[in-house]
Amino acid sequence: MSVAVHDRLSAASGSVVLEFRPSLTATERGRFAVQDVAEGLSLWRLAWTLGWLDIRLRYRGSLLGPFWLTLSTAVMVGSLGALYATLFHMNLREYLPFIALSQVLWGFIAGVVTEGCVCFTQAEGIIRAVRMPLFVQVLRVLVRNLLVLAHNVVVIVGVFALLSVWPGWEAVWAVPGLVLWGLAGAAICLPLGAVCARFRDIPQIIGSVLQIAFFITPVIWLPDQLGGKEHWLLLNPFFDMLEVVREPLLGTTAGVHVWEAAVAITLVLCGVSMALFARVRGRVAFWL
């Protein structure tokens, strides 16, 4: 069991006495973790400014700035849409909006997970120099990827306008889906950022897992191509989280079972995240 060591000056002899007492209890660690999240949320303006600054610095000196990513996404959507529509013998008018949404939304999910692994290590200088809630760095990652998503929405709107296909009022259901994404993204970044600060090879493992998840999740292929075995997709958490936003934007609503799975995944992530963050929060600065 770890201990905290304190020295006190004995009034009688003037000698230094080392006093050993147990470290913080689980309840105290949990309280400090919740306080860190609450203080981080109160500094959302700072997180927004840092995320916006990251985007500006990333594309500093570039002619189109973040729209280079938008252009590359548009080229990928157009080329993959034409190719896979031919290979899978699908109607391009139906498939192109699907793959445009899938590519853009998957980019956001993969970006949050990937950058969440290094959210603390990339902010090493700030964490060591300034007393600031660690959760600010998590919000910084979410803001940064949200801004990239906002730029790539141009691709989705362009595809919808080109094909004259609009989702209708069902698109409103994408809003609670995005709220779930925010909660799940923060819940993923907290433990991943802390653990990856301790073990620097984990980001490479996460990258490999995301590559596998990309191919086993309906991103470039349709769920109904499984031939009646779509129910197995519910075991894929990436599919559940993707559907709650993608389906409303395609003009339909995700099934109740998909929403139940997405909410359950988010709640489990939040619980595990807070438990692990409370455990390692005080050590992150020493691991950087």
pLDDT digits 0-9 by tens, 27-76: 778 888 888 899 989 999 999 999 899 888 877 776 666 677 788 888 88
3, pLDDT greater than 50 = no
What band does 88 get if pLDDT is binned at 50, 70 and 90? confident
Residue 275 lies in a domain: yes
The pLDDT of residue 50: 92
Q: Say if residue 10's pLDDT is above 50.
A: no
Q: C-alpha 202: how far from its chain's center?
A: 16
- Residue 11: inside a domain, yes or no? no
Residue 13 resides in a domain = no
The pair of structure tokens assigned to 156 is 């989705």
Q: What is the pTM of this model?
A: 0.84
Residue 14: inside a domain: no
Domain that holds residue 142: 25-287
216 falls within a domain: yes
Name the domain count of the chain: 1
Q: Is residue 80 part of a domain?
A: yes
Residue 93 falls inside a structural domain: yes
Classify residue 20: in a domain, yes or no. Answer: no
